[in-house]
Structures are given as C-alpha cells and as structure tokens.
Amino acid sequence: MGFEVWPEAIELGELFNEHGYELALVGGPVRDLLLQRPSHDLDFCTSARPEEFEPILRKWGHGFWDMGRKFGTLGAMKRRADGSEIGVEVTTYRRDTYDPDSRKPEVNYGDSLEGDLSRRDFTVNAMALRVPQCEFVDPFNGANDLNKKILRTPVDPAQSFDDDPLRMMRAVRFVAQLGFRIEPETAEAITRMVDRIEIVSAERVRDELTKLLLSDNPRAGLEALVESGLADIVLPELPALQLELDEHHRHKDVFEHTLMVLDRAIALETGPDGPVPRPDLTLRLAALMHDVGKPKTRRFEPGGKVSFHRHDLVGAKLTRKRLKALRFDHHLIEDVSDLVALHLRFHGYIDEPWTDSAVRRYVRDAGHLYHRLNRLTRADATTQNKRKARMFSEAMDDMEARVIELKKREDIDAIRPDLNGNEIIEILGVEPGPIVGEAYRHMLEFRLDHGPAEHDEAEAELRRWYAERSAQ
C-alpha cells in the first residue's frame, strides 16, 4: 500500500512483537490513512490481554489511562520530538454479545484480528494494518467500499444495528463527515429498525448529532437523518418542516429553506480570530432550529396567503425543549433558544431605519450573541429577488456600521443606567426595596433612549420621574 505509517505505530508494534503479541492499527486511523486525512489519535487491537500489555504501554508512553479497562482498553500519550503529542488506545481482540434491551456489550475476548474486525460498524472501519510489518488486512472489502464511497456493514445490517443501534446514527454522521452514501440494503435496514434507537442514551445521540453538525457538509447528513426515519425519533421538529406546499406555492418548502439557511450560516462563519470561528455549534443549531415554530403557527389567510405569526417565540420554546431532551449544555441551550427567538428582530429595520435607541436595544438584547444573530439573520434572507436581497444586505451593512459608530462614542455592549442603586437611594432618600428597582429600570430605559448622560442630567431625570410617580 502506498502510504506512510506513523512512526509511533511502528515503534509500538515492534515492542509488542518482542513480547510475542500481535498488534494492529484499526478503524478510523486506517480509513483516514487511505483517504490521506489527518488522524490525531491511533486505535489498535492486540492478541494480548490488558494485564499483559499494560507494562509495555506504560514504558512506551506517558499519561497512561485505563478508564476502559473493563472493555479491555488501555491508553497512553506519546510526546514527539517537536513537542506535539499523539494519543493511542489499545484493545484486546473482542467478540461482543449484546443484551437486546441495551447497547452495552458483554465483553468477551476474541482470538483473532479478523474476528475483531467483524464486530465493527462499517466495512470502511473494518480494515487493519498489522504492525510493525505493515500488512494490510481487509476481510470485508472495506477499501473497495471506501473507493466507491459506500457505507456497508461487515455482517448482516439487521444484526449489526440490532446489536448496536447507535450505528444507525453513525451512518448518517459519516454521510456528512466523509461524503459517503449508505448502501441500499443497509439503508433499508435502518428504516426498518429506527425504533431501536430509543434504547440509546440521549447523550450518545447528541454526540453523534453534534459531530454531524460540525462536519464540512451537515446538509447531506441531515437529509439522510430525515430520509431514514431516524429524525422522527431523535429530532422530530426537522421532518415536521416538510410542510405540504399549497397548489400555488405561496410559501417556501420550510425544510429545504432550513437546509439552505444552514449552508449560508456556515459560509458566514469566520476564521479562528473572527467573531464566529468555524465550526460554530451554536450558530449551526440556531440555523437548524430557527423555523421549527412554523408548523404549529401556520395559518391560511384570506386571499390564499399563509402566515406563521409568532413562530419565532414558539420555535424558541420548542428548541429549548428538544435540546434539553438531547442533554445539551445549559448555556448552549439558552444561547440557541435566544437566537431562534430573536431571528426576526432585524426585519423592521429595512422598512424604516431605527433610531439610535432601537439600535442600542438590539445590541443589548443580542448581548454576546450579536455577531451570531447578524449572521443568522443574513443567512435567513434567502429571497431570489435580487433587488430585495440587495436592499436587505445594504440595510444590514448600515445597521452594523451604526453599531460600530455608537461603540466609538459609548459602551453599548454593557449598557447600564448612568446612576447605580446606591446613588438612586441617596438622591431619592429612600430605603432599599422595590422602588429602587423600579427607578433603576426607568434610568436604564432613559440611557437606552438618549445615550450616556452627565450626572446632573441623570439626577434631574430621576427626580422628575420620582415626582411624577409620587403625584399619581
């Protein structure tokens, strides 16, 4: 085979060989080697038992870990001459059996490399490279499938997915990550067996969905997720966007529009030093979920028009509920839900440019999501009308330029009243309590409306408001 193998793999193979044990590089690293893709961690399997190869691994590397000991897996890091590190995991040959009500395997050690490869998810991951001799092992024609960009299971797909239903999610993830297609018999098995995904923990489904979304081409994976029927269980809001079009096509295919918005949002991600570095899970999830409120809010109006009133707020609630069910991080859930709730906020600017007060409120409400919200808003403008598209883009450019100018004059990223709580208490001569909070909120509104004020001006406004309130 015409490829250069990691020197660390050869070195480790020689050590195992000296002790009379077999060692083979397996799975993703072998696939990536053939695809000439970088691989930062190396996976191996061996004829040795963990207690037998543990001393070898400890002596060879550093940072030894054994969290997977009960599955026959031990790991270590190796520091290279240039200061970089590479991680390795070594697992004893296995032949797993599964409880049909769980995806956790009962680990039984195997006695051959070929037997170990047969229990892997897809043929493209069931290839191995024996080290140090660099003998390529491919009992299920994975290299041929790799060349044809096909995903196929080494054994009967029904058996494979019944053993480990998470493999169905991995299939659609690989469609996105590798640009592969699922072989027809394998795809049919997924469609027949989608209900099996319900025994998989939400966290593992979330992890696969995250990897899919962070890939170079999430659209293909999401289409496969919906076509397979998996989305009906793990992300039902997505297939629900496939609304039936009315006969006159007066509204867009929301599912297709969503995928287009996702593509456009990804194109607007920035470099590592930009405000929204690629890949950005928050922006991509927001683009995916921004219109999930439309099916529940669709109304057919007189004259054949279709409306989706308040779909932004309804969508934010649905987004929060779904991401919680998938066990996403609390902060991510709040950020994505807020972006969905705010994604229509800018649209009024096009008809009539906002006052400085309105711009300040937009920036305040967006908070740390300001740059993501602007990118989501731009991505959502998918009109084919060139004049409308140009007007929208120019309006967005204008608003962003105004924000930059305002920032030169005042701190609009963290707008606070010109008077703090203690100053309000001292000026009004009141005790701490609800009145102070009420006054604080009024002074915040005053700051948003008029910009920063001198202390005397702010004090005069506070006294005016308090006198007016007391007279009521």
pLDDT tens-digit readout, 318-358: 999 999 999 999 999 999 999 999 999 998 787 788 888 88
- Burial class of residue 428 (count of CB atoms within 10 Å of its CB; 0-12, 13-18, 19+): middle
Q: What is the pLDDT of residue 104?
A: 60
Question: Per CATH, the architecture of 1-148 is what?
Answer: 2-Layer Sandwich (3.30)
Domain ranges of the chain: 1-148, 239-409, 421-471
Alpha-carbon dihedral of residues 406, 407, 409, 413, nearest 10 degrees?
110
- Dihedral over Cα of 236, 237, 242, 248: its sign: positive
Task: Give the pLDDT of residue 69.
Answer: 92
Q: What is the mean pLDDT of residues 383-412?
A: 88
CB 268 within 8 A of CB 213: no
The mean per-residue pLDDT over the stretch 248-274 comes to 85
Q: What is the pLDDT of residues 14-65, one digit of tens each?
A: 999 999 999 999 998 999 899 888 887 899 999 999 999 999 999 998 889 9
Its pTM stands at: 0.84
Under the banding of pLDDT at 50, 70 and 90, the label for residue 97 is low
φ, ψ dihedrals at 153, nearest 5°: -85, 145
> 284-295 pLDDT, tens per residue?
999 999 999 999
Answer yes or no: is pLDDT of 248 > 50.
no
Interatomic CA distance for residues 110 and 375, integer angstroms: 52
Structure tokens at 191: 């469609």
Residue 238 has pLDDT above 60, yes or no: yes
Is residue 124 pLDDT above 80, yes or no? yes
Query: What confidence score (pLDDT) does residue 252 get?
Result: 54
> What integer best gives the mean pLDDT of the chain?
90
- Look at 459 and 338; give whichever has higher pLDDT: 338
Look at residue 463 in the predicted model and tell me its pLDDT.
84
What six digits make up the tokens of 277? 């570095």
Give the CATH class of 239-409.
Answer: mainly alpha
CB 163 within 8 A of CB 200: no
Query: pLDDT: is 443 or 325 the higher one?
Result: 325
Query: To the nearest whole percent, how much of the chain has pLDDT over 70?
Result: 94
Q: Which class for 209: exposed (0-12), middle (13-18), buried (19 or more C-beta within 10 A)?
A: buried
* Tokens found for residue 312: 């932004």
For 137-179, what is each residue's pLDDT tens digit?
999 999 999 999 999 999 999 999 998 999 999 999 999 999 9
In the predicted model, is pLDDT for residue 316 greater than 90?
Answer: yes
Span 397-412, mean pLDDT? Answer: 86
User: Residue 72 above 70 pLDDT?
Assistant: yes
- As a whole number of angstroms, the distance between CA 295 and CA 300 comes to 12
Please determine, for residue 245, whether its predicted confidence score (pLDDT) is greater than 60.
no
Share of the chain above pLDDT 90, in %: 63
Determine the Cα–Cα distance for residues 341 and 19; give it in Å rounded to an integer: 62
CA of residue 28 relative to chain centroid, distance:
21
Taking the C-alpha atoms of residue 113 and residue 198, their distance in angstroms, rounded to an integer, is 31
Q: How confident is the model at residue 441 (pLDDT cuts 50, 70, 90)?
A: confident
pLDDT band for position 101 (cuts 50, 70, 90): low
C-alpha 58/C-alpha 77 separation (Å) is 9
Nearest-angstrom CA–CA distance, 76 and 282? 32
Give me the pLDDT at residue 408, please: 83
Q: Which one has a higher pLDDT value, 282 or 360?
A: 282
The model's confidence at residue 251, banded by pLDDT at 50, 70 and 90, is very low
